[in-house]
Amino acid sequence: MSALRQPSSNTPYDVAAVRKDFPILARSVHNRPLVYLDNAASAQKPRQVLEAMTALYENNYANVHRGVHFLSGAATELFEAARETVRAYINAASVDEIIFTRGATEAANLLAQTFGRSRLKAGDAVVLSQLEHHANIVPWQLLAAERGITLKVAPIDATGQLILEEYEKLLTPEVRLVAISHMSNSLGTILPAAQIVKLAHDRGIPVLLDGAQAATHMPVDVQALDVDFYMFSSHKIYGPTGIGVLYGKKKWLDMLPPWQGGGDMIDTVSFAGTTFKPAPQRFEAGTPAIAEAVGFAAALDYVNAIGRNNIMAHEKALLDYATQLLGDIKGLTLHGTAADKGAILSFTLEGAHTQDVGMLLDRQGIAIRTGHHCCMPLMSHLGISGTCRASFGLYNTFEEAEALATGLRKAAELLS
């Protein structure tokens, strides 16, 4: 255990009480207490989420929107209440700006197939950054191959922060969209979103922010950011898998054509032609993820009850403490040292393959992520094949940060 003293908390944050809400944290792995540090990939779920989904299935389940019977009405009310919960969580102006998707990945594809196919043509360009997750690269590459558009990539500096001056230089007249992460899933870098949006808007360019990480770790206000589109997933915010959100300003959504066809997104259908409902229903074909929406809302309610600023302060203290602990380990290199970053630590051990490090930590009950983290272009830029990534959440403790450091010292000894 490190000689560093654990930081004292200045917030009314009871992490022991929080942990009691997460049943899985009480289990052991390889006869060791579970230390779950893979939250950037997917976070664990509190009882409140599990109970909300179970209650729907046990008491109020039916298909939504089209039924006239009691259960359909009850399920519809819960489903649409979840949409309002999401709206309030990011301070969207209207529930009509909240589209439920299967996750951030589907949100990016939806936008590429609606905004991209209806508004982009050969010679147009989309600006990305070197920090992007594959989910915010590949959909635009597919569109580029189909439409002949160009992808421009904004560079980062040695700390992993976006170089704003270089980003601004890319905002030339042919750019029709900026699609950039709000927070890096690999390095934890929090990008200057408000400046990114303003610089683009000054040139009449709309902006998509990938908030899959940011929406978990910090307050997000889409109106204050003035962002045109924002996407994130439930499962990283302590909710269920299989559901996420694409937020879009109403003025944009009203212009965009549907992507998938099917039930519930139509107004009238004949073999001669079809008319469609307004947003968001126009983009939600078929039976939605009803229980998942209810669980998603329960997760957001849970986070709000603890307080996002309290969570931020707790995670910041964890990040600072863990950064100091890992800095003492011989041969360990931290990747991503921007001054403004979330509770993610990416690192490599000299002479050790990341997968070997991850497996040795797993035998000690410590779950981290290893590999390229769906950021292969970023890894190529850094000159490495991948990193080990420890990512903290609202239920992690200073003792777990110490366990990580202790485990890494053991791994370093075994692999040296």
- Please give the positions annotated as active site: 374
Long-range residue pairs from 26-31, CB within 8 A, at least 24 positions apart, any chain: 28/365, 29/362, 29/365, 29/367, 30/362, 30/363, 30/364, 30/365, 31/365
Q: Check if the beta carbon of residue 170 is closer than 8 Å to that of residue 152.
A: yes
Residue 271 exposed, middle or buried by CB count within 10 Å (0-12, 13-18, 19+): exposed
Backbone φ and ψ for 259, nearest 5 degrees, come out as -105, -65
Which amino acid would we find at residue 306?
A: I
**What phi and psi, each to the nearest 5 degrees, are found at residue 169?**
-65, -25
CB atoms within 10 A of CB 241: 16
- Torsions phi, psi for 98 (to 5 deg): -110, 110
Phi and psi, residue 96, nearest 5°: -70, -10
Query: How far is residue 334's CA from residue 325's CA, in Å, rounded to a whole number?
Result: 12
DSSP 8-state class, residue 236 = G
Distance CA 299, CA 49 (A): 6
For 288-314, b/e burial (b = at least 16 CB within 10 A) is: bbbbbbbbbbbbbbbbeebebebbbeb
Residue 96's contacts (CB-CB under 8 Å, 6 or more residues apart) are 250, 253, 278, 279, 280
Strand pairing class (366-367; 35-36): parallel
The two three-digit tokens of residue 362, written as one number: 């797993």
